[in-house]
Structure 1
Amino acid sequence: MAFQDGAVMPSWFDVREIPITAVLPNDEKGVLEAVQNVHAVIDKEVAAGISPENIFVCGFSQGGALTLASVLLYPKTLGGGAVFSGWVPFNSSIIDRISPEARKTPILWSHGMADRMVLFEAGQAGPPFLERAGMKCEFKAYPNLAHSISNEELKSLESWIKARLNSSSSSSSSSSS
């Protein structure tokens, strides 16, 4: 459960302070438990025949932080992870646990510059963290956007996913010939 203005809210893991800053103490144990749930869903899709390269994990706010953790700790390369108004939910020691395959998963990170819930500085801390992990991250800042998702962000997500699906299908079709 997370608290907002003194109210208990449903959550993936505990959030101890709002607004969320770049130096917020994190509930790493809770994050790792939530990651197991996301990995179970991904594993179910893979077992059903979906290629991991065609799986995209996307999340907003706390879901964005969970998206990042889930993608980084999944043992295979996924199609991508999209973080909207999220943050890095653990310290840099997690970098040692990221597999070489997971490091190939591309990340799209979008954050509103007027966000008062998850401060823009928390979002800005993501790309340098991913760079230290040897990963690629496309970061997009949205002026005047508060703690929400805009149509512009969704259009960007759509084209980002389509570009990756097209590149993975063309590479798999060329490898089978």
Structure 2
Amino acid sequence: MDIVALETVELETGPQPDASVIWLHGLGASGHDFEPFVPELKLPSALRFVFPHAPRQAVSINGGYVMRAWYDIAHPDLGMLVDETGIRTSVAAVSRLIDRERERGVAPSRIIVAGFSQGGVIALHASLRYPERLAGTIALSTYLPFPDSLDREAASANRGLPIFLAHGEHDSLIPITQAERARQQLTERGYPVDWHRYPMQHQVSREEIADISAFLQARLA
């Protein structure tokens, strides 16, 4: 598998950060999408935020239109025609970003992988398979395709990895039932899921940002 070198946007909240958050955007967005949320997190410690741009590719469900995407979506039912090859390619690229943070002096236990929608899929798959213990993962407005692969592929180092899982109750793009199913699938496999639901659509709310801040501070204090 060829590993794509992802372009990134970076933001540091203070000098000499000793912890990193790799945050993946959703379909059609870019690495700049979540950059404005960093000041709203009001974090007391110095962190490096890494916001990668997904590669541009044709997305079948959007008529083959080329946009930034972590993988193709070919059917409205997200459990059908899953682009497993595309997901695994993006997981490999994100794992390389984790490696790069380690090369820059950040311990794996001080790295969190976060993602929204498509980015949340990649965040979950990458973090739970990474061979060194991470600090946690944040999965927003997302779902968990081919969960059974975790039974044979999950890294022992990240068994029991804390997961912040959140979803909008009125999400019309990814129904909350998909997130509830992911929560059940992860819990059944022994992962501690910090579950949140909000009265919103496929978006991020101020209440959610406050809860994410609390999770980051607890994991990276």
Identity %: 30
User: Which protein has the bigger helix share?
Assistant: 1
- What's the counterpart of residue 175 of structure 1? none
CA distance in 2, matches of 1:103, 1:24: 27
Shift of 1:7: 5.8
1:134 equivalent among 169, 172, 190: 190
- What's the counterpart of residue 114 of structure 2? 58
User: Which protein has the bigger strand share?
Assistant: 2
CA distance in 2, matches of 1:2, 1:117: 15
Shift of 1:76: 1.5
CA distance in 1, matches of 2:64, 2:202: 18
State the number of aligned residues. 163
1:31 equivalent among 62, 87, 104: 87
1:104-140 residue CA offsets vs partner (Å, 9 max, x unmatched) = 3210000001001111111111111112322111111
CA distance in 2, matches of 1:103, 1:66: 17
1:135-169 residue CA offsets vs partner (Å, 9 max, x unmatched) = 111111112x1011111111110111101112xxx
Q: Name the CA shift for 1:7/1:159 in 2 (closer, same or farther; >3 Å).
A: same
Gaps of 5+ in 1: 167-177
Shift of 1:60: 0.6
Gaps of 5+ in 2: 1-57
- What's the counterpart of residue 106 of structure 1? 162
Say yes or no: does 1:156 pair with 2:211: yes
- What's the counterpart of residue 95 of structure 1? 151
CA contact (8 A) 2:61 2:74 kept: no
1:61-118 residue CA offsets vs partner (Å, 9 max, x unmatched) = 1001111111111111111110010110224133221122111321000000100111
Say yes or no: does 1:165 pair with 2:206: no
CA contact (8 A) 1:19 1:119 kept: no
Q: Which 4+ runs in 1 deviate beyond 4 A? A: none
Q: Name the CA shift for 1:25/1:122 in 2 (closer, same or farther; >3 Å).
A: farther
Q: CA RMSD in A?
A: 1.6
